[in-house]
A and B are shown apart, each in its own frame.
Chain A
Amino acid sequence: MTTTLYTSDHEWLAIDGDVATVGITDYAQSQLGDVVFVELPKLGRTLKKAEPAAVVESVKAASDVYAPVSGEVLETNPELASEPALVNSDAQGKAWFFKIKMADKSELGGLMDEAAYKAHTA
Chain B
Amino acid sequence: MKMGTSITRFSLNRPWLVTGLMIAFTLSLALLATLPTIWPHTFKGLNPLKVDTDPENMLPEDEPVRIFHNSMKKEMALYDMLVVGIVNESNPDGVFNPQSLRNIYELTEYAKSLHWSDKENPDKEIGVIEIDLIAPSTVDNIEQGGLGSVRFEWLMASPPTTKEQALAIRKKAQRIPFLNGTLISEDGKAICLYLPLTSKDISYKIYSKLQEKIDTLSGNEQYYITGLPVAEDTFGVEMFKQMAISAPLAMLIIFLLLFFFFRKLIVIVSPMIVAMVSVICTMGLLIITGNTVHIMSSMIPIFIMPIAVLDAVHILSDFFDRYQETKDQEKTVIKVMETLFTPMLYTSLTTAVGFASLALTPIPPVQIFGLFIAFGVMIAWAFTVTFIPAFIMFIPKKSLENFGTFADKNKNESQSILTRFLTLLGRLTFKRAKLVMGITGVFVVIAVYGISQIKINDNPIKWFNPTHPIRIADKVLNEHFGGTYMGYLAFQAQTSKDLPKYADELSKQIDKAANSLKSELPAVPAVFEALKSQTTYIIKSVSSKKELLQQLAAFADKRIQKATMQEYDAWDEAILFLDRQRQADEVFKQPQVLNYIAGVQKRLLTTGVVGKSNSLADIVKTVYRELLQGDPQNFKIPDTVNAVAQCLMTYQNSHRPQDLWHFVTPDYTKTVLWVQLKSGDNMDMAKVVKAMDEYIAANPPPVNLKHQWFGLTYINVVWQNKMVTGMLEAFLESFLIVLLMMIILYRSALWGILSMIPLTVTIGLIYGFIGLVGKDYDMPVAVLSSLSLGLAVDYAIHFLSRARQLREGFNSWAETAAPVFGEPARAIARNVIVIGVGFLPLLAAPLVPYQTVGVFIAAILLTAGIASLLILPSMITILEKWLFPKTKKASLTCNCTTCFVIAALAAALVAMNIHDFFGVGWNKLTWFGLMAVIVFVIACNMASGRKKCKTEAMMDS
Do A and B actually bind? no
